[in-house]
Amino acid sequence: MMQIKLNKHKLTFFSLLFSFLMPLCAEKIIFSANRMTGRAGNTNTTTTLSGNAYIKTDTMEIQAEDVELSGDDYRYIKATGSISGKNLETHMDFTCDSLEYDRNTKIALLKGNVKLDDKDNDVRAEAQIIEYNQDTEIAVLQIQIKLTQKENVCSGSYAVYYKNSQLLELSGNAQVKQKDDVFRAQNITLNMDTQDITLGGNVKGKVTDTKESKPEPKTTESEPESKDPETENQTTEFEMKKTEVKDGE
Lowest mean per-residue pLDDT among 31-35, 38-42, 160-164, 237-241: 237-241
pLDDT tens digits, 211-234: 554 555 554 454 455 445 444 555
Reply yes or no on whether the pLDDT at 113 is more than 70.
Answer: yes
Check if the beta carbon of residue 57 is closer than 8 Å to that of residue 31.
Answer: no
Written as one letter, the residue type at 209 is: D
pLDDT confidence tier of residue 249, bands split at 50, 70 and 90: very low
Structure-model confidence comparison of residues 37 and 2, the more confident one = 37
pLDDT tens digits, 39-72: 655 556 789 999 999 999 888 999 999 999 998 8
Question: Mean pLDDT, the chain, as a whole number?
Answer: 80
Please list the residues that pair with 68 across neighbouring strands: 48, 78
Reply yes or no on whether the pLDDT at 195 is more than 70.
Answer: yes
User: How far from the centroid of its chain's Cα atoms is residue 70's Cα?
Assistant: 26
pLDDT confidence tier of residue 27, bands split at 50, 70 and 90: confident
Reply yes or no on whether the pLDDT at 28 is more than 90.
Answer: no
User: How far from the centroid of its chain's Cα atoms is residue 22's Cα?
Assistant: 29
Instruction: Return contacts of 233-238, CB within 8 angstroms, 24+ apart.
Output: 233/180, 233/208, 233/209, 234/208, 234/209, 234/210, 235/180, 235/206, 235/207, 235/208, 235/209, 236/206, 236/207, 236/208, 236/209, 237/204, 237/205, 237/206, 237/207, 238/203, 238/204, 238/205, 238/206, 238/207
- pLDDT value at residue 74: 85
pLDDT tens digits, 142-163: 999 999 999 999 999 999 999 9
87 contact partners, CB below 8 Å, separation of at least 6 = 59, 60, 93, 94, 132, 134
Check if the beta carbon of residue 24 is closer than 8 Å to that of residue 15.
Answer: no
Reply yes or no on whether the pLDDT at 36 is more than 80.
Answer: yes
Q: Which DSSP helix (H) or strand (E) runs through 121?
A: none
- pLDDT value at residue 18: 46
User: How far from the centroid of its chain's Cα atoms is residue 192's Cα?
Assistant: 15
Reply yes or no on whether the pLDDT at 197 is more than 50.
Answer: yes
- pLDDT value at residue 3: 34
pLDDT tens digits, 65-109: 999 999 888 889 999 999 999 999 889 999 999 999 999 999 999
Structure-model confidence comparison of residues 216 and 121, the more confident one = 121
Reply yes or no on whether the pLDDT at 110 is more than 60.
Answer: yes
- pLDDT value at residue 26: 54
225 contact partners, CB below 8 Å, separation of at least 6 = 218
